[in-house]
Amino acid sequence: MKITSSLMTPIKSKADALFIGIFSDAKLNAIAKEADEIINKQISARIKTKDFSGKSGETLTLFADSGQRVILVGLGDKNKCVLGTIQSATIRAVKAVVKTPVKTVSNYISSLAYIDFDSATVTKISAIAASYATYRYEVTKIFKKGDKHSLTSMSMYADKKSANAVKHAAAIATGVETTRALGNLPPNICNPDYLAKHAKGIAKKYDNCSLTILDEKKMQKLKMGSLLAVARGSRNSPKMVVLKYTGAKKTQKPHVIVGKGITFDTGGISLKPGPNMDEMKYDMCGAATVFGTFVAVAEMQLPINLVMIVPAVENMPDGDAYRPGDVVTSYSGKTIEVLNTDAEGRMILCDALTYAQEYKPQVLIDLATLTGACVIALGHVASAVMSKQTQLPQDILNAGIQVNDKAWQLPLWDEYQKQIDTTFADMQNVGGFAGGSITAGCFLSRFCEDVNWAHIDIAGTAWNNKKEGATGRPVAMMVQYLINESSK
Ligand code: BES
Ligand code: MN
Ligand code: ZN
């Protein structure tokens, strides 16, 4: 869906549908009054008959004689309106038109006077949410004729100040869609080679992008022993995908983002139980997130330098698979005792993070569906941010608040480090049940000692129940973070 901005009020709008937001005080603002005129005062009439009251959760479709639709959405109590309210109201409005012939929408939800948010914020949130609601997985499914999503463009009511927010929202929406599309692909399609080819497509599309792919041979030469240990069990050979975007002076140090790209995680020899194992196709959602973030940045042509690194590997059991008890030597030279082959994410990330530091990043962030423990700690609401720095995690958390893509910090205090000490190597790859997300973070921290680094565990946020699939989180948070960085 194309997202644009316009200052056209309802009378001038030629869109097939108009989204009108109303608080539970049921007062019509100037925009709603205009819409009311177009449809012969049906809005006031329906408010009078209490068929619509502006309660949160309400939606009502009204028609002009021309066939133009007015979609009323309730936003509830003005004083209790949070960004989530605006998101869900927008999603409801889109759902009300998505199965109709409506092709174009003028979205006026941002025209209301919100207590806590400026119109740029509301515009951005609403545009991203609208795009989210139009997405549907279509790759490996046959749809009945006519069962098409026809919504093709949405114009956001936005003044000059908010026009930039609309551009940012459009880019974020594209990024989120990229991430969801990749995340939802089945693992027999989306394997390491597929991710490498996908990167090729992106590098081709944008002039100031370049691509490097390290294949297995190259990684053997470089002695990325930890990543390669995980890769050994799979017929799908591993790839390290490196996409570079140059939006600022070449001398400016890049932001480097690394995404866990386990295209399927069986657990390896430490095999996972059968139920829900299919969900481990989402174990490349860290990779999908950095792809989405990268695309959004390239779309905006943000004035920063960005490097995206994806270690893409499949974790399978096999006669040649790595085993519990193995000691491997990572790219950094540090040795790792493998105690559980299902703790494979950190095994590929440590080599990718060591490699990433060769780009001399001003900021290094990795994203990974790293631990089930993260879902226990924070559920599906917040991503977990871990860092030894003070400012960087704060900046990430704040970006998340701005776009309602929330994250929460977990500590990486030294007291946790001893859980991964071992007699037989520099560290072991699991730290036990207690603080499982943190000890995974501790493991990674041993490879990021002299760099401005943060780790984001997205195990709880990257995908949802089976119906919704990949959520595209936390692309919005990441892109907002980079937008903020670009104007520093
Ligand atoms: N990809 C999983 C983490 C995961 C599990 C994310 C379930 C979302 C839902 C990861 O590779 C893994 O298996 N982690 C293990 C680590 C353990 C062996 C220390 C886990 O969380 O059980
Ligand atoms: Mn695993
Ligand atoms: Zn995994």
pLDDT score, position 390: 98
Give one DSSP letter per residue of 72-129, joined into a string.
Answer: EEEEE-GGG--HHHHHHHHHHHHHHHHTSS--EEEE-GGGS--SS--HHHHHHHHHHH
Q: Averaged in consecutive runs of 10 residues, what is the pLDDT profile of the chain (488 residues)?
A: 97 98 98 98 98 97 97 98 98 96 97 97 98 96 84 96 96 98 98 98 98 98 99 98 98 99 99 98 99 98 98 99 99 99 99 99 99 98 98 98 98 98 98 98 98 99 92 99 97
pLDDT score, position 146: 76
pLDDT score, position 150: 87
Question: Could you read off the pLDDT of 168-220 as tens digits, one per residue?
Answer: 999 999 999 999 999 999 999 999 999 999 999 999 999 999 999 999 999 99
What residue ranges do the domains of the chain occupy?
A: 2-156, 177-486
Ligand 1 within 6 A of CB of 265: yes
Q: Ligand 1 center to residue 288 CA distance, Å?
A: 17
Distance (Å, rounded) from C-alpha 162 to C-alpha 176?
Answer: 21
As annotated, the active-site residues are 272, 346
Ligand 1 within 6 A of CB of 283: yes
Q: Is 145 exposed, middle or buried (0-12, 13-18, 19+ CB in 10 A)?
A: exposed
pLDDT score, position 264: 99
Helix boundaries (H) for 223-326: 225-231, 285-300
> Out of 3.10.20.600, 3.40.220.10, 3.20.20.370, 2.40.30.10, which CATH number does the structure's domain 2-156 have?
3.40.220.10
Q: Ligand 1 center to residue 316 CA distance, Å?
A: 14
pTM exceeding the 0.95 threshold for the entire prediction: yes
Q: Which of 342, 380, 438 best tests ligand 1's pocket when mutated (most atoms within 8 Å of CB)?
A: 342
pLDDT score, position 147: 80
Exposed e or buried b per residue across 363-374, where buried means at least 16 C-beta atoms within 10 angstroms of its C-beta = bbbbbbbbbebb
Q: Residue 109: how many CB atoms within 10 A of its CB?
A: 27
CATH code assigned to 177-486:
3.40.630.10
> CA dist 245 to 34, 175, 276, 290, 296, Å?
45, 15, 37, 12, 11
Q: Which of 322, 371, 428 best tests ligand 1's pocket when mutated (most atoms within 8 Å of CB)?
A: 371
pLDDT score, position 105: 98
pLDDT score, position 148: 77
CB 419 within 8 A of CB 431: yes
